Chains A and B, each alone.
Chain A
Amino acid sequence: MTPILETKNLCKYYGSGENLVKAVDHIDLQIAQGEYVAIVGKSGSGKSTLLHLLGALDNPTSGEIWVDGKNIAALTGEELTALRRRKIGFIFQAFNLIPSLNVWENIVLPIGLDGKRADEEFVRDILRTLDLEERTNALPNTLSGGQQQRTAIARAIAAKPSIILADEPTGNLDTKNGDEVISLLKLSAKKYGQTLVVITHNEDIAQMADRTIMLEDGRLI
């Protein structure tokens, strides 16, 4: 299978000498299009660093990252921004919604930033799937944690990215809401043909993935 996301000998080190921390240490990873991969590891194992590198949010110390056949090191700043906006959707543990914008505005904001018009029909469809239709005009602080995370999911999906990167998406949710969020991500990814990479320390959640990758001290095990 052609990988949509690939790392070659990827390293990310912090500090130097005795304080050298190998957050990501020679990782070779291939993720196929449409795959749902869970990256599991304890805190400090380098999961978040790896995800940030995959999403071009951080620069590697050495090694290469290929997204959709492009080596992202070769891209200009402008192309990199376009790649992050169009190809990749992010979901974070802390939701990262903008408090002064309502649900709808939060969802279409990244599309607007990209200078495009939101596909209204598509966004409505997502809202229906995520049961947010009635909260379209609500502000984030009036929503429950589950609803906020569903809004963040809607935002990640709305730009129709090829890849969704989720960093502990259920970290702030109880078991039931967390399970539901993961099922939703899986359902949406399947519905819209997206690749899903979820990092978590929760093995219960990793069960639902097509493939689980274990990370320890920055290395795959």
Chain B
Amino acid sequence: MRYCIIGGSAAGTSACEMIRGIDKKADITLITDEKFALYSRCLLSYLLAGSINEDKLKFKEKDFFERNKIEALLGVRVEKIDSKKRELGLSNKKKVTFDRLLIATGARPKEMGIPGEDKKGVFALRTIEDARGILNRSNKGVKRVAILGGGLIGMRDAYALGHKGFDIKVIVKSGQILSQMMEKEGAEIIEAHIKKFGVDVMKGLAATEILGKDEVSGIILDNGNKLDCELVIVGKGVAPNIELAKDIGLATKEGIIADDYLAASQDGIWTAGDVCEAKDLVTGEKTVNALWPCAVEQGRVAALNMAGKKTKYEGSQSMNSLDLFGLSTISIGVTKPKGAGYEILTSKTENSYKRLVIKGDILWGMTLVGKVENAGVYGILIRNKINISDYKKILLRDDFNYAKILPLIKKEAQKFCKPEFQDILLTY
């Protein structure tokens, strides 16, 4: 059996590993257009911040490909899929055949679509090349940075450079930062915190043009003001790389539509990772949850199915973790509910914030700012749709932790099938 995997990040590598675990004889080929393989994209902001070096970006051992007997084609782009011939056309003009294919092509930064975006000194932090470019530039005495976008990426970039003492302006169109991840009240705590570290958030504004001859010298804002800066980082989110899939007529929307087994709409093709639009656990709708843990999990499940072990994908859970200058934030599930019938519970202290989104006695989502150590416990309640009607106050309390939900685990034990839960119930 010949397996091809397009994409060498979280989903692609976890799939390789899983296939190899099941099928010792399989031919596995992994193709990625990046030359530097097996690095963790999510760590790039830490590289930028200087908290790790490039070595530490590796999330698999150096001999990962050899040990798993994987043919890795690095720096090679797949230009065409021929689904009839079961063949891939590569940028090096070679062709590779496959029996089963995983498309894990990931996503790329969205472009701003404003004049000047091609100037030197404009970056989006997605690849190691971007990180090297930014670092290179920041070593040349650059002081002022404009970050366009106040989402997760923008905030991580702001933290990374803020950590190095840059003068940072974050330009946010909406009235708050992190508007995808949480609502205003929590975001304000974070905004106040990062301000102390030199990150200035300018809300309700957008860049309309990037100035400079060859290199960036500033930006023009939609209120007409000019902002001087030597570095611009675009953090406007990512768009799944669905072109290859579209070319051969796979069902796509935002990403490649995957069924409950992560198969794409044509036989022999699966999809996983940031390009995959699969079921969301909480809402039940198909969504692209572009998250590292989701990608790893999807890679595993797709691989199981590719290797003939039919495995249902439970669904992805929208969640995110962020740490800015020592202030941690984790959100899981539905944090900004639309529509009626939601009950919102919040508790707030000077430097911590908790917000629970409840509907029909079930926890749908939550946001934690400051104190995050019990985030995963909320996560399991959300994931398993546990009735928490009598536990609302307990969930909101400061001393909430895993022990507090034991009675709930006992009550709905059938939903907690991990053996670890069963072990605990032995004496409770």
The yes or no verdict on A and B being binding partners is no
A residues engaging B (CB < 8 A)? none
B residues engaging A (CB < 8 A)? none
